[in-house]
Amino acid sequence: MADSTFLQLEEASDFSFQNLPFGVFSTANKPIPRIGIAIGNWIMDLSELDCFSGPEMAKQSNVFREGELNAFMGLGRNAWHETRQTVQRVLSSAEGYLRDNGHLQKRTLINQDDAIMHVPARIGDFTDFSASKRHAENDRIMFTDKSQRILPNWDYMPVAYHSRASSVVVSGTDIHRPNGQYANEDGSVDSGPVFGPTKKLDFEMEIGALIGTGNALSQPISVDSADSHVFGFVLLNDWSARDLQSWEWNPLGPFLSKSFATTISPWVVTAAALEPFLCDPICLQDPQPLPYLRSKSIKTYDINLTTSLQTEGQTEVHYSSSVISQSNYKVMYWTLAQQIAHHTSNGCNLLPGDLIGSGTVSGPTHYSSGSLSELSERGTKPITLVDGQRRAFLHDGDEVIIRGSFNICNQNLMEEKDKLHLILLLGWCEDKSVRIGFGECRGRVLHHRQHSPPPFP
């Protein structure tokens, strides 16, 4: 099979021939959502292809006509692998099936600008973990005003909370500032809380994993087999209202401060595409995890992550100029395999389409913090944006854009923003190396919605 495609792709495209992420899209002339694959600026409509003739997919290609990835993901790794091989063959420069058929190209290749993207899967459950020790330590400061010491259980198990699946939205969806209860400005418990729009709206830069094949009830997934249950990955912004969170988080953890919205990117980058970017985690796990969390080979992924903040009315600037945070997924203390093993250790059953949030990806430096509350030190030290405006928390009209990519050029986490400019503008594809990206996870903050007055005084 050729290692290149007959399509003309931009060298810096996130959606290279080696990537081929899956997504769900529709178009104005065909509004029915269906499954496609991104390559360059194109979407290949899998529902229009009749080339799936292998033993796994010959009788299963109807799954590509569905408006969600769940059925396809539930077929398992052999079906995923065969589909990827078929798509690579069809798109390769050595294969004439699509290359030499202009009529088929018009039916199957859609410009991404002409497509409407949808949430790629029906998400039955959404679990969000805390896996960055730096973020966990910062959380203790933000919500307790005490020392950085995290709770003893954090070092022994991947902690998480069960979030809201119904409010997971696709990139580009506007987010209304949520209302809720929070403590009075004087911080006095005796004076009681107030109800109103959050004053401390924040983002959280995360990676999300979509479960492919699940497990039967009461049958745990072992840490060494966990990766085989993962179909792929998306970028994730777990929007957070920090004043609501501070008031409500004891004794049962986040509720309304998180459940109002979570944004994910539309394209699911498969685990198969990411295999070349497996790496050792940066963090040493000490103390040693309990036996059920010990793996024969602890691995994670080298994923570069950046967050950009653009203000309302801001003159169009290059993405790199508005970047306020850069981190890397490999800084996480707990791996995805350990998170899945722990999640199912009590017999909990995962299902195709379940979403696993990595937790905020905060690294060892201030600039690698994965949330605005960390960057601004709980709002006490607002950051200065490229247009001179200052932010302690998000304002109405602000747009948060998270991007993620891989490249064989391995970059270190850096503190100074000038160095980040060098990475973003000069560090990619200099040697025409493989690039795999996620696209964008984008969301804009809108004014809060007014609550209707009560019917009686």
Which residues carry out catalysis?
A: 135
Phi, psi of 405 (to 5 degrees): -160, 165
Phi, psi of 455 (to 5 degrees): -70, -20
Q: Is 24 left (phi over 0), alpha (psi -120 to 50) or beta?
A: beta
Peptide bond into 287 cis (omega under 30): yes
Give the count of alpha carbons within 13 A of 79, CB side only: 20
346-351: long-range contacts at Cβ-Cβ below 8 A with a sequence spacing of 24 or more? 346/220, 347/217, 347/218, 347/219, 347/220, 348/217, 349/214, 349/215, 349/216, 349/217, 349/218, 349/219, 350/125, 350/211, 350/214, 350/215, 350/221, 350/229, 351/124, 351/125, 351/211, 351/214
Q: Is the dihedral of CA 160, 165, 167, 172 positive or negative?
A: positive
- CB-CB contact of 326 with 361 (8 Å): no
- Both tokens assigned to 57: 């997919």
453: part of which helix (H) or strand (E)? none
- Both tokens assigned to 102: 């202009």
Radius of gyration of the chain (CA): 22
Q: Which of 221, 200, 256, 232 is nearest to 404 (CA)?
A: 232
